[in-house]
């Protein structure tokens, strides 16, 4: 395994440029909040994806859709989250999110 393969996604993306934000991402977000026992990771991915869709954060949605699949949500379920949120967050955000999902799922299938 190369050294790069051992890096976290945040380290790979901005590690040398903004090490403090990377350590907060890895230690506080994924190391602490995501590890809280009250909800399983599958639910935490559902929450995260919903928040990113409603917030219009399509850039971050790409990787979180992949993580959501690793945490047990299926492509069908993730597409349904986007459809479900259309009437809450509005069609523009749902359509933008579905375009991201299409690139993620079609690339990976």
Partner 1 sequence: MDRLERGRERYNEVYGDGAADRLLASLRGVGKELGRYGIEFNYGDIYSRPGLDLRERQIATISSLVTLGNCERQLAGHIKAALNVGLSARQILEVIVHCVQYIGFPRTLNAVAVATSTFDELGIDVDE
Residues that bind partner 1 (CB under 8 A): 29, 33, 36, 38-39, 43-44, 46-55, 57, 60, 76-77, 79-81, 83-89
Minimal distance, residue 1 CB to partner 1, in Å: 28
Residue labelled with tokens 């993306």: 13
Q: Which of 7/54 has CB closer to partner 1?
A: 54
Minimal distance, residue 43 CB to partner 1, in Å: 6
Write the Ramachandran bin of 77: left for phi over 0, alpha for psi from -120 to 50, otherwise beta: alpha
Compute the chain's Rg from CA coordinates. Answer: 15
How many CB atoms lie under 10 A from the CB of residue 34? 15
Minimal distance, residue 6 CB to partner 1, in Å: 23
């Amino acid at each position: 395994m190369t050294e790069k393969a051992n890096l976290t996604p945040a380290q790979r993306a901005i590690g040398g440029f903004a090490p403090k934000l990377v350590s907060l991402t890895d230690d506080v977000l994924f190391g602490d909040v995501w590890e809280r026992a009250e909800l399983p990771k599958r639910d935490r991915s559902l929450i995260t994806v919903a928040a990113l869709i409603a917030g219009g954060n399509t850039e971050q949605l790409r990787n979180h859709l992949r993580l959501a699949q690793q945490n047990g949500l299926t492509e069908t379920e993730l597409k349904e989250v986007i459809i479900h949120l259309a009437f809450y967050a509005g069609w523009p955000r749902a359509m933008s999110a579905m375009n991201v999902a299409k690139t993620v799922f079609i690339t990976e299938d």
